[in-house]
Amino acid sequence: MQRRTLLHRASAVLTGLAAGTTLLALSAPAALAQARRTPPVMEVWKDPLCGCCDDWITYLEKNGFSVRAFDTGNIAARQRLGVPEQYGSCHTALVGGYVVEGHVPAADIHRLLRERPAALGLSVPGMPIGSPGMDGPLFGGRRDPFHVLLLGRDGSSRIWASYHQPPAGAATAQPPANGADAGAAAATATDRDGRPWVEAEVRRVDRSNRRVSLRHGPIPNLEMGGMTMVFQLSDPALLEQLQQGQRIRFSAALIQGEYTVMQIAPLP
Ligand SMILES: [Cu+2]
C-alpha cells in the first residue's frame, strides 16, 4: 500500500515535471532525487529587446539549466565580470562561478561545470548564425562555423569546442580583397565578415552624436523585424558616406549592447 502510494507520487512528480509546473510539496525520497537533479542556476544579463537572447535562454532551460534573466545591466555585468571587449556578445551570464558570454551551446557549459578548469569562463564572440538561439526560422537553416573559447583570467583564450567547421581540405571562401569591396559586396548576400546585408533608407544623420536613423528591412542576425531605428556606427568615418534620403545596404551587430552599423555598401 505504502509502496503504491510512493509510485503514485513518483508518477505525479514526473507528470508535474513534464508539464513544467513548479512542485511545492515533494515526498522526502522524491525531494532527495530532485535535489540530486537540481539544474544549475544561471544568471543572465541582456537587453529587453534582444530576441536571440530570449531564444538562447529558452534553449538552456530545455537543456538542463534554471535561468534568472535580467533585462538590464548587460554592459555593466560584462565589465564587472572582466570579459574583454573582443570576446563580447549580446548577453552575459554567470553559472557556478564561471562567465558565459554569448550563444554558447549547453553541452559546453555542462562540460565546463564538470571539468572545472582554472578559467574565467566560455565565450562565443559576436553572434554566429547557427549557434543556439541564432538558429530560428529567420536564418533558414544557415550554419556558420564558430568556436567556443575558454577565456583565461589573463585575457587569453583557447578553443574549447568548434561547430559547423568545413570538412578538412574543403576550399574556404576568401573575403574579397580590399579595394574590390564595393562591387563584390553589392553582389553578395553578406558583408566581409559574413553578416547579412540589409536594405535601408537613411532617415536622419546625427553627426554630433555619431548616430544614424535608418528605416530598414529585417535584420536576421539580430532577429529584428523591419522598422525605423537609431544605430551607432562601428567607425565614425562611415558618417561621411551617409546622406538623408539615401538608399543603402548595411550590416549590423550588437556591440556592447548597442545596435551598431558595421559596414555600408551601395545598393546593386
Ligand atoms: Cu544574440
Q: What is the pLDDT of residues 135-190, one digit of tens each?
A: 988 888 889 999 999 999 999 999 999 999 988 766 544 444 443 333 333 346 88
| 70 and 154 within one domain | yes
- Give me the amino acid identity at 260: T
Last residue of a domain, one of 130, 163, 196: 163
Helix axes 51-61, 106-115, angle to 10 degrees: 60
Q: How far is the CA of 29 from the centre of ligand 1 (A)?
A: 40
Residue 251 lies in a domain: yes
Domain that holds residue 253: 181-265
Residue 32 lies in a domain: no
Here the CATH number for the domain that contains residue 82 is 3.40.30
The three cell numbers locating residue 95: 553559472
Q: How far is the CA of 91 from the centre of ligand 1 (A)?
A: 7
| 121 and 151 within one domain | yes
Q: How far is the CA of 132 from the centre of ligand 1 (A)?
A: 9
Confidence band (pLDDT; 50, 70, 90) for 4? very low
In which region does residue 238 sit, left (phi positive, over 0), alpha (psi from -120 to 50) or beta (all else)?
alpha
Q: Between 173 and 192, whose confidence is greater?
A: 192
- Report the alpha-carbon distance of residue 158 to residue 124 in Å, rounded: 12
Residue 224 lies in a domain: yes
- Report the alpha-carbon distance of residue 218 to residue 93 in Å, rounded: 27
- Model pLDDT for residues 9-25, shown as the tens digit of each residue: 444 344 334 443 444 45
Residue 11 lies in a domain: no
Residue 34 lies in a domain: no
| 86 and 189 within one domain | no
| 137 and 104 within one domain | yes
Predicted pLDDT at 123: 98
- Count the domains in the chain: 2
Query: Between the CA of residue 15 and those of 11, 59, 125, 138, 170, what are the distances in Å?
Result: 6, 21, 39, 33, 48
| 126 and 62 within one domain | yes
Last residue of a domain, one of 137, 163, 189: 163
| 51 and 140 within one domain | yes
- Model pLDDT for residues 201-244, shown as the tens digit of each residue: 888 888 888 888 888 887 888 877 676 778 899 988 888 888 88
Here the CATH number for the domain that contains residue 206 is 2.40.50.320
| 216 and 146 within one domain | no
> What is this structure's pTM?
0.56
Q: How far is the CA of 257 from the centre of ligand 1 (A)?
A: 10
| 237 and 131 within one domain | no
Task: Find the DSSP H helices in the chain.
Answer: 2-18, 28-36, 51-61, 74-80, 106-115, 181-187
| 201 and 122 within one domain | no
Q: How far is the CA of 53 from the centre of ligand 1 (A)?
A: 5
Q: How far is the CA of 167 from the centre of ligand 1 (A)?
A: 26
The region of weakest confidence among 102-106, 157-161, 237-241, 250-254 is 237-241
| 145 and 52 within one domain | yes
